[in-house]
């Protein structure tokens, strides 16, 4: 699957990014194109949750992902969400009219390889991540996260061993003025873990 997403990412123009055709509030499938790198942890020793549900800031989830060499267990924690301005959104999309009344929300999510085989050809762990605003799913912005500070491109990670962590980011277009932004992550066919980030 990473190869399919790479094709989507490479098809996006360098200066002008395209909005994916994902209806707001539609489905729980993960069609995120994440990029990430290291960034500070929200908590020095976060607790873990082992089934879907709401999590506190800094609390991590544990889930399994079917990777190419075999099933890998990951610890996942949404660290923060950076919310931009309408002007930034208008510059980022192909048609500025698509960004009217919208802002970009970039979620920083840390994934730690807990157990399972070492990866040698990318990971699909970030495919389970989506961003919601006031209970409605945002629209993924393909290719935007690769330039965000502290975000690593998952397609550049071709070796990932047990104990290693990476921060991948997801950028979504959400309504301006949302009072709550949520980061969802779920295992395939699992219930989502939800981190809420209240907005001012």
Q: Average pLDDT, stretch 38-43? A: 36
**What pLDDT band is residue 142 in, cutting at 50, 70 and 90?**
confident
Closest CA to 154 of 114, 145, 105: 145
Position 180 pLDDT exceeds 80: yes
Domain count, the chain: 1
**In the predicted structure, residue 161 carries a pLDDT above the cut 70:** yes
Strands of the sheet containing 60-66, edge to edge, are: 48-49, 60-66, 71-83, 102-115, 165-175, 139-140
CA–centroid distance for 65 within its chain: 15
Range of the domain at 120: 2-198
Mean pLDDT (the chain, rounded): 79
- CA pair distance 11, 39, nearest whole angstrom: 28
CB 37 within 8 A of CB 151: yes
Structure tokens, 150: 């502290």
Instruction: Answer whether residue 28 shows pLDDT above 50.
Output: no
pLDDT band at 200 (very low <50, low <70, confident <90, very high): confident
* pLDDT score recorded for residue 42: 37
Beta-sheet pairing, 180-185 with 129-133: antiparallel
Is residue 37 scored above 60 in pLDDT?
no
3 state DSSP class of 86: helix
**pLDDT band of 155, cuts 50, 70, 90:** confident
Mapped onto helix, strand or coil, the DSSP state of residue 155 is helix
Whether residue 125 is predicted with pLDDT greater than 80 in this model: the reply is yes
Decide: 14 and 41 in contact? Cβ < 8 Å. Answer: no
Q: What is the mean pLDDT of residues 28-48?
A: 40
Q: Does residue 29 carry a pLDDT above 70?
A: no
Whether residue 102 is predicted with pLDDT greater than 90 in this model: the reply is yes
Look at 153 and 147; give whichever has higher pLDDT: 153
93 within 8 A of 17, measured Cβ to Cβ: yes
As a whole number, mean pLDDT of residues 22-38 equals: 38
d(CA 98, CA 83): 17
User: Residue 147 — φ and ψ, nearest 5°?
Assistant: -100, -5
pLDDT for res 144: 74
Q: What is the DSSP letter of 118?
A: P
For residue 161, what are its two tokens? Answer: 């061993």
- Contact (CB, 8 A) for 93 and 173: yes
Domain of 153: which CATH number?
Answer: 2.60.40.1240
User: pTM of this prediction?
Assistant: 0.76
């Amino acid at each position: 699957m990473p190869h399919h997403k790479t094709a989507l990412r490479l098809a996006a123009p360098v200066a002008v990014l395209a909005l994916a055709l994902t209806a707001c509030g539609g489905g729980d499938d993960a069609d995120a194109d994440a990029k990430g790198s290291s960034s500070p942890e929200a908590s020095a020793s976060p607790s873990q949750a082992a089934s879907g549900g709401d999590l506190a800031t800094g609390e991590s989830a544990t889930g399994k992902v079917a990777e190419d060499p075999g099933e890998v267990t990951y610890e996942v924690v949404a660290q923060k969400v950076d919310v931009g301005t309408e002007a930034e959104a208008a510059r980022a999309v192909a048609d500025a009219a698509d960004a009217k009344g919208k802002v970009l929300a970039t979620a920083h999510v840390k994934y730690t390889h807990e157990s399972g085989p070492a990866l040698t050809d990318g990971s699909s762990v970030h495919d389970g991540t989506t961003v919601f605003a006031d209970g409605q799913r945002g629209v993924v912005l393909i290719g935007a996260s690769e330039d965000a500070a502290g975000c690593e491109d998952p397609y550049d990670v071709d070796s990932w061993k047990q104990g290693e962590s990476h921060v991948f980011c997801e950028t979504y277009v959400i309504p301006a003025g949302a009072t709550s932004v949520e980061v969802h992550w779920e295992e395939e066919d699992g219930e989502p873990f939800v981190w809420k980030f209240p907005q001012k």
